[in-house]
Structure 1
Amino acid sequence: MYKGILLSLSASCLFGLVYYYPVFLKPLSVIDIFCWRLLMSFPAIALLVCIERQWQTIIDLFKRIYHQPLFLFALIFSALLLSVQMLLFVWAPLSGKALSTSLGYFMLPLTMVICGRIFYKERFSFLQKIAVLLAFIGVAIEVYITGAFSWETAVICLGYPIYFMFRRYMKIDGIAGTFSDFFFLALGCLIYFIIQYDSQKVIDDIVHFHLFIPLLGIITAIAFAAYFSASKLLPLGIFGLLGYVEPILLVVVSLVFLHESISSEHMISYGLIWGAVLVLIVEGTVYSIRNFKRRRVR
């Protein structure tokens, strides 16, 4: 279990590093950084598939295109949904919106719980009801203060549930779905480079960022490898709890390294939302401890 915890924490730390990484690639545009990340990451994702010996699941996924041609559009749409999130992940640190974007990752577990209740008729536990109430009050205060809820926060906390529900509905699962998303995104990025770049521009980027561009793909691949390995080694409850480490690190990156700050008028709303997440963490911890005790008894 300790190995799984270490791998999960390592993945969160690496994703936190990737959040700050666009700063190293200035003055490249957001689209350029996004495309370089995808093109450098895809070979590493393919290598991960080889290591995990998951090629058969990839083959089965693409066989569905032959039998169901319209399934191709489902795969492309899934990739497009992910591209919105990945573009925002690159754009936010460069645009002074890292903190509001990280708040979206804090709210994501709550919106997933709410979507489970609405679309899959899952029941709220007592603590989940408290968490949803706190988050609702926090969002209401934020809307009252600012006149609108941050669109960056909304895109993260609402966009990811749509992405996951769509993948679930279309049965685009696991590492095969991740490979498919990265494949179509990398293909789109390659087309963008062919249209917008010339050979000299590619050479200039690589010369100026000869270390940072390849390292971006390596870090992304190691993060995904650690994440998938941890998911296999840890009980689901503990793995879910450790998922809260990443948004905490994103807030740290936003405040400490990107020098953003939380104004006093936002402290109450942010505090309520973070309090809601803390309630979910408490519930998850209790659930994990109970499951661990039951396994020991058996």
Structure 2
Amino acid sequence: MYKGILLSLAASCLFGVVYYYPVLLKPLSVVDIFCWRLLMSFPAIVLLVFAERRWQAVVELFRRVQAQPLFLLALIFSASLVAVQMLIFVWAPLSGNALSTSLGYFMLPLTMVVAGRVFYKEHFSLFQKIAVILALFGVISEVYITGAFSWETVIICVGYPVYFMFRRGMNIDGIAGTFSDFFFIALGCLVYFIVQYDMQKIIEDVVHFHIYIPLLGIITAIAFAAYFSASHLLPLGLFGLLGYVEPILLAVVSIVFLNETISSEHLISYGLIWGAVCILILEGVIYTLRNFKYKRIS
């Protein structure tokens, strides 16, 4: 279990590094960095599929396209949904919006809980009810005080539930679906390079960032490998609980390394939302401890 905890923490730390990484690749554009990241990462996804022995699931997924040609549109739409999220992940630290984007990741567990209640009739626990109420007051406070709610925060915390619900609705398998998403996004990146780049520009990028570009793929590969390995080694409750580490690290990167600050007008709304997340973390801790105690007794 300790190995799983270390792997999960390592994955979160590496994703935190990737969050800061676009700063190291200036003056490349957001789309350039995004495409390099995907093209460098895709081989790692292929290796992960083989390591997890899930290649047959990938084959079955694409066989569905043969049987149902319109299913191809579903796979492309799924890839498009996650591509938007990944673009924001690159754009945020370069545009001074890293902190508001990290807030979206803080709110994500809450919007997932709400989506489960609304669309799948899942019941709120007492802790979840308190957390949702706190988050709701946080959003209302933000809209009232600032007159708006950051669009990047909304896209992150709403977009991912839509993405996961769509994949569930289309019965797209986990790792096979991840392979499909990366495959179509990487294909789009290749088209972008062919249309916008020439060979000289590609060579210039690789020569100028001869360490940083390949390293981006390596870090992403290790992060995904650690994440998937941890998911197999840890109980589901503990694995979900450790998932809160990543948004905390994204906020730390935003404040410490990207020099962003929380203005006084955001303190109330951010505080309420972070308080809601703490409630969910508390529930996760209690649930995990109860499971450990039950297993020891049995």
After TM superposition, the score normalised by the length of structure 2 is 0.99
Alpha-carbon shift at residue 297 of structure 1 (Å): 1.4
Offset from partner CA, 1:27-79 (integer Å, 9 cap, x none) = 00000000000000001110111122211111111111111111110000000
1:70 is the counterpart of 2:70? yes
- The 3-state SS of whatever aligns with 2:252 is helix
Alpha-carbon shift at residue 235 of structure 1 (Å): 0.4
Contact 2:16 2:246 in 1 (8 A): yes
Aligned to 1:11: 11
Task: Give the gaps of 5 or more residues in structure 2.
Answer: none
Structure 2 Cα separation of the partners of residues 262 and 52 of structure 1: 42
Structure 1 Cα separation of the partners of residues 232 and 16 of structure 2: 22
Structure 2 Cα separation of the partners of residues 249 and 64 of structure 1: 39
1:132 is the counterpart of 2:132? yes
Aligned to 2:33: 33
Percent sequence identity is 78
Contact 2:96 2:260 in 1 (8 A): yes
Aligned to 1:167: 167
Aligned to 2:115: 115
Aligned to 2:179: 179
Structure 1 Cα separation of the partners of residues 267 and 170 of structure 2: 40
Paired residue total? 298
Contact 2:146 2:265 in 1 (8 A): no
1:146 maps to a residue whose letter is T
Aligned to 1:201: 201
Offset from partner CA, 1:139-174 (integer Å, 9 cap, x none) = 100000110111010000000000000000001121
Aligned to 2:246: 246
Aligned to 1:261: 261
2:135 maps to a residue whose letter is A
1:90 is the counterpart of 2:90? yes
- With 87-96 and 44-53 compared, the bigger mean Cα shift is at 44-53
Contact 2:104 2:156 in 1 (8 A): yes
Alpha-carbon shift at residue 7 of structure 1 (Å): 0.2
- The 3-state SS of whatever aligns with 1:78 is helix
Structure 2 Cα separation of the partners of residues 72 and 293 of structure 1: 47
Calculate the aligned-residue CA RMSD, in Å.
0.5
Aligned to 1:217: 217
Which consecutive aligned stretches of 4+ in structure 1 deviate over 3 angstroms post-superposition? none
Offset from partner CA, 1:204-259 (integer Å, 9 cap, x none) = 00000000001111110110000000000000000000000000000000000000
Aligned to 1:54: 54
1:23 maps to a residue whose letter is V
1:38 maps to a residue whose letter is L
Structure 1 Cα separation of the partners of residues 160 and 48 of structure 2: 23
- The 3-state SS of whatever aligns with 2:27 is coil
Structure 2 Cα separation of the partners of residues 171 and 133 of structure 1: 32
2:224 maps to a residue whose letter is F
Task: Give the gaps of 5 or more residues in structure 1.
Answer: none
1:5 maps to a residue whose letter is I
1:189 is the counterpart of 2:194? no
Alpha-carbon shift at residue 295 of structure 1 (Å): 1.2
Query: Within 5 Å, which residues of 2 pair with 1:97-108?
Result: 97-108=97-108
- With 152-161 and 50-59 compared, the bigger mean Cα shift is at 50-59
Alpha-carbon shift at residue 293 of structure 1 (Å): 1.1
Structure 2 Cα separation of the partners of residues 51 and 4 of structure 1: 17
Structure 2 Cα separation of the partners of residues 292 and 61 of structure 1: 37
Structure 2 Cα separation of the partners of residues 154 and 173 of structure 1: 26
Aligned to 2:156: 156
Structure 2 Cα separation of the partners of residues 285 and 59 of structure 1: 39
2:59 maps to a residue whose letter is I
2:100 maps to a residue whose letter is S
